[in-house]
Amino acid sequence: MNKKIVIIGAGIAGIATAIRLTAKGYHVEVFEANAYPGGKLSAFSLKEYRFDAGPSLFTMPHFVDELFELCGENPRVYFNYHRKEIACQYFWEDGTRLTAFSDTTQYLQEVEKKLGVSPKVLKAYLVKAKKKYDLTVALFLEKSLHRWKTLFSLKTLKALRHLTLFEINKSLDQVNTAALKEPHLVQLYNRFATYNGSSPYQTPGIMSLIQHLESHYGTFIPEGGMVSISNSLFELAQRQGVKFHFNQKVEKILEEKDCVKGVLIGGQKYFADYVVSNMDIYPTYRKLLPQAKAPEKILKQERSSSAVIFYWGIKKSFPALDLHNILFSEDYPGEFEAIFGTKQLFKDPTIYINITAKNVPSDAPAGNENWFVMINTPVGTSIKWEKEIPAFRKYVLTKIERVLGEKIAPFIAAEEVLSPPLIEEKTQSYLGALYGASSNNQMAAFLRHPNFSGQFKNLYFCGGSVHPGGGIPLCLLSAKIVSDEFSRLDD
């Protein structure tokens, strides 16, 4: 097959799409504006400390392995990881601390011991979340939701028979409060709304299935850090013959009637039979397809949350912390009202601390740690970030020191800050939104842009801003859906 495909963007979904389409026999070239592959899933060094720049949670590793196996390679030769025995450490201001063990029995015992919740109650909640996932995975995650064949399949009819189970008329908080009751545990499971940049007080109850991905499949640490995911897939794509062009910013998608013809870069035209955009869907239309009829309803959707990230090289070790750590706000409703309502920085934010040096010792000098400190924020609209971040930093430090009972500030030896405007600048994510549109309404799953164009018959889309959503597993699934769309062409 000599047909040529141009992919815009070498994010994780763009790389995965390139691998899958090359395996089908297409000639694939990827154009990336940055000097490196991976998009948000990249890394950098600050003095003697190494940091993963973006996504820090790795679950469902079989989606990565599948790409190597698709190409006839043993993934263990090129990419390795191990399962974490502790998924996360949770901290509350009242002194409550809970260890989320990966082993279900151990975790249930820990919740009963620390929070007084019967294993029977929590197990019933987890089983229900699994059932939601099992009933919807083939409809919402693995297939194009925007094809009649998917909507009118037997699996869809089976799912509809259990419509009340999905609890779409309730918020995630209402579901969790009714099922779990204990405030600490409700807050713990409410936080999974942030996995797609949404509010637990607005996103529908079906989203309790998100936690199933972590509790069932577990959390993992890749050897070499998160960046090894994108690096290993980038190298796999190269071995398969994919050609990458870095520092090549696409200026326009060339169009002619109901087809696209390629892309324009630096005034030069690169022609192709198909184009796949791994760019955020908003700038794809506004910047690359300015003359096309844009899906205004989709583009005007509320954006997901963004984040401020402090990268700190810490000249000390903290045994109480693990790879993943959450320090909860005392006013969770107020925090999400600030993010999605008043769109202001909150003075008592929930803080996520990721420390890869706990498992990859070379990421920091001996006795030191590399802290990735992430706080969910509004997107970059009304906030004067340069002015407000110094005060926000003080709130964050004060809270960490208060919860841990130890000084932090004197041990910060290196620092870099990432704000929503910088996220937008580096990744082209509109307004710095981490997951494209939020899922703060009942129809969120149906409102994401499809993986194909209804206007141009040879234009496709992958990545976190389109179906099925953001995060590493879903981005990899978007690549599979695009690949399946090309299979339809071969039928």
> Residues 6 or more apart from 429 whose CB is under 8 A from it?
40, 280, 423, 436, 465
CA distance 91 to 131: 29
CB 129 within 8 A of CB 208: yes
In the 8-state DSSP scheme, what is residue 470? Answer: S
Q: What is the pLDDT of residue 215?
A: 82
Asked whether residue 181 is assigned to any structural domain, the reply reads yes
- Taking CA atoms, 386 is separated from 174, 298, 376, 389, 416, in Å, by 37, 30, 17, 6, 13
Which pLDDT value is given to residue 189?
97
Residue 121 CA to residue 144 CA, distance in Å, equals: 35
Residue 31 domain-assigned (yes or no)? yes
CATH number at residue 174: 1.10.405
Asked whether residue 76 is assigned to any structural domain, the reply reads: no
Report the pLDDT value the prediction gives residue 214, as an integer from 0 to 100. 83
Whether 286 and 204 share a structural domain: no
β-pairing, 274-277 vs 4-8, is: parallel
Long-range contacts, stretch 187-190, CB < 8 angstroms, 24+ apart: 187/92, 187/328, 187/332, 188/90, 188/98, 188/328, 189/125, 190/332
The verdict on residue 336 lying in a domain is: no
Per-residue confidence (pLDDT) for residue 325, from 0 to 100: 98
Same domain as 283, residue 136? no
What is the pLDDT at residue 321? 98
Q: How many domains does the chain have?
A: 2
Q: In this predicted structure, what is the pLDDT of residue 154?
A: 52
Residues 130 and 208 grouped into a single domain: yes
Tell me, yes or no, whether 158 lies in a domain: yes
Low-confidence ranges of the chain (pLDDT < 70): 1, 138-166, 443-446, 490-491
* Residue range 364-387, pLDDT digits in tens: 999 999 999 999 999 987 899 999
Say if strands 86-91 and 324-327 run parallel, antiparallel, or are unpaired.
parallel
Asked whether residue 244 is assigned to any structural domain, the reply reads yes
CB-based burial label for 391 (10 Å; 0-12, 13-18, 19+) = exposed
CATH number of domain containing 16: 3.50.50.60
Cis-peptide into 468, omega within 30 deg: yes
Domain region containing 474: 4-40+226-301+440-490
C-alpha to C-alpha distance for 369 and 325, rounded to whole angstroms:
14
* CA distance linking residue 434 with residue 72, whole number of Å: 33
Clarify whether residues 193 and 245 are in a common domain.
Answer: no
Residue 164 CA to residue 408 CA, distance in Å, equals 48
Q: Residue holding tokens 């995965």?
A: 16
Q: Which tokens belong to 409?
A: 């500030």
Query: Side-chain half-sphere of 453: how many Cα atoms within 13 Å?
Result: 23
pLDDT per residue as tens digits for the range 32-57: 999 999 999 999 999 999 999 999 99
Q: Are residues 253 and 195 in the same domain?
A: no
Q: Reading across the β-sheet that carries 252-256, which strands appear in turn?
A: 252-256, 259-265, 268-271
DSSP codes, 174-236: HHHHHHH--HHHHHHHHGGGGGGT--TTTSBGGGGGHHHHHHHH--EEETT-THHHHHHHHHH
Let me know if residue 153 belongs to a domain: yes
Same domain, 34 and 133: no
State the pLDDT at residue 268.
97
